[in-house]
Amino acid sequence: MPIDEPAHQIADELVLEVAAVPAQAAALRDVLAKWALERGLPRELAEDLKLTAYEAMTNVVKHAYPDGTDDNVMTVTAVHADGQLKISVADEGRWRDGRRPDGGRGLPIIRAFAPEASVTSTPTGTIVRLSWPCPSA
């Protein structure tokens, strides 16, 4: 599904299911930043959201699906409710723990720039949840 066609969109919710490939992660970070700005998130925080969401999506590509096949998907959800803007990045892969020579900074970046961040890994996938305070626009 092209990134400009949400799988599901209701008022202040955006749900996108895309191929877990670098090009989609790069495009989605801009979609999410624009969506957050439209809901009143200050520009500086929208840049933090863009960076952290991209790191989470890149982790899906590198760790959940390291074989890089096109049938691997990630689901990115954005919700603006109750004075919070929440982003989740979910996959159905298997987390490959441990540092790699080409990475290892994603989670520290996420935790440094998102006011609230959590990672939940199970045998059926991983969900990264990010949250920023964001009053209604």
Determine, yes or no, domain membership for 23: yes
Determine, yes or no, domain membership for 21: yes
Residue 99 has a pLDDT of 53
Domain extent, residue 54, equals 8-133
Determine, yes or no, domain membership for 3: no
- In order along its 137 residues, the chain shows pLDDT tens digits of 445 445 554 458 999 999 999 999 999 999 999 999 999 999 999 999 999 999 999 999 888 877 766 678 999 999 999 899 999 999 998 765 555 555 578 889 999 999 999 999 888 899 999 999 997 65
Determine, yes or no, domain membership for 1: no
- Report how many domains make up the chain: 1
Residue 131 has a pLDDT of 97
Q: What is the CATH number of the domain that holds 117?
A: 3.30.565.10
Q: Alpha carbon of 52 to those of 10, 58, 112: distances in Å?
A: 24, 10, 9
Residue 65 has a pLDDT of 79
Residue 70 has a pLDDT of 61
C-alpha dihedral (13, 19, 125, 97), degrees to nearest 10: -120
Here the tokens at position 31 are 């979609």
Determine, yes or no, domain membership for 44: yes
